[in-house]
Amino acid sequence: MHLNYQKAEPSIKLKTHTDSTGVCSPHLSLKLELQSQSMAASIAVTANYVLQPPPYALDALEPHMSKQTLEFHWGKHHRAYVDNLKKQVLGTDLEGKPLDHIINKTYNNGDLLPAFNNAAQAWNHEFFWESMKPNGGGKPSGELLALLERDFTSYEKFYEEFNAAAATQFGAGWAWLAYANDKLKVVKTPNAVNPLVLGSFPLLTIDVWEHAYYLDFQNRRPDYIKTFMNNLVSWEAVSARLEAAKVASSSSA
């Protein structure tokens, strides 16, 4: 199932790019026009294997998520996924393909191929940074709140379910708010797996790999999850993604 958030014809830019050995190779980059706006990155599945910075300074989420965490989590872990993905697809038929294509191909119906981890983690982390904002968190409003109340009976019930999913994902993984078949649901996934390969549109995520919270919270994952929900979630990003997801799923219906 081909999943993306684009409804209109994507704007295709053909770039040439000279690598460090002086070899010139074309890269096809598929980006929505919206991408240049801060929120747009949250809805586009980028094809460029570029380490995008979070849409805020590395210390902007303090005291809820420390600058030190961002420096390591974005600056080392996320960077390594992007760099290693580039090396891994070089010279293979995955080279130059959009990231979502690589993710779906290498998911291989659950029998993961080698590039899956780096590709999915590169995507997941960009999505994660954009799921947060300074002075975020709390309760959403408007249509998003109405849908959460519709599908979970109350925001509090959603909060509980999301927290429980994030707390009980054993080992490394992610918890998600996702959209499929006109319904919102909470999903938890192991390691690098994300809802894209499970047939739904991700709207919000929290990283529960230990590296995401260990410097700030050590073993106290439940405290990290509460802090994320109360102080970091960007409901604007979630709403924008929901709009894009509704459009995309109606156009492919």
Partner 1 sequence: MAIRCVASRRTLAGLKETSSRLIGFRGIQTFTLPDLPYDYGALEPAISGEIMQIHHQKHHQTYVTNYNNALEQLDQAVSKGDASAVVKLQSAIKFNGAGHVNHSIFWKNLAPVKEGGGEPPKGSLGSAIDTHFGSLEGLVKKMSAEGAAVQGSGWVWLGLDKELKKLVVDTTANQDPLVTKGGSLVPLVGIDVWEHAYYLQYKNVRPEYLKNVWKVINWKYASEIYEKECN
Q: Which residues bind partner 1 (CB under 8 A)?
A: 72, 76-77, 80, 117, 170-173, 190-192, 209-211, 214-216, 218-219
Rounded Cα gap, residues 83 and 231, in angstroms: 31
- 201-207 and 183-190: which strand pairing? unpaired
Q: Cβ of residue 234: shortest distance to partner 1, in angstroms? A: 25
Rounded Cα gap, residues 138 and 81, in angstroms: 31
Q: Which is nearer to partner 1, 33 or 223 (CB)?
A: 223
Q: Cβ of residue 32: shortest distance to partner 1, in angstroms? A: 30
Q: Cβ of residue 81: shortest distance to partner 1, in angstroms? A: 11
Q: Which is nearer to partner 1, 95 or 210 (CB)?
A: 210
Q: Cβ of residue 84: shortest distance to partner 1, in angstroms? A: 11
Q: Which is nearer to partner 1, 168 or 250 (CB)?
A: 168
Q: Which is nearer to partner 1, 170 or 181 (CB)?
A: 170
Nearest to 128 by CA among 73, 179, 167, 183: 73
Rounded Cα gap, residues 123 and 119, in angstroms: 6
**Under 8 Å between Cβ of 178 and 187:** yes
Q: Cβ of residue 98: shortest distance to partner 1, in angstroms? A: 23
Q: Which is nearer to partner 1, 127 or 158 (CB)?
A: 127
* 146 class by beta-carbon count within 10 Å (0-12 exposed, 13-18 middle, 19+ buried): exposed
Nearest to 116 by CA among 199, 192, 201: 192
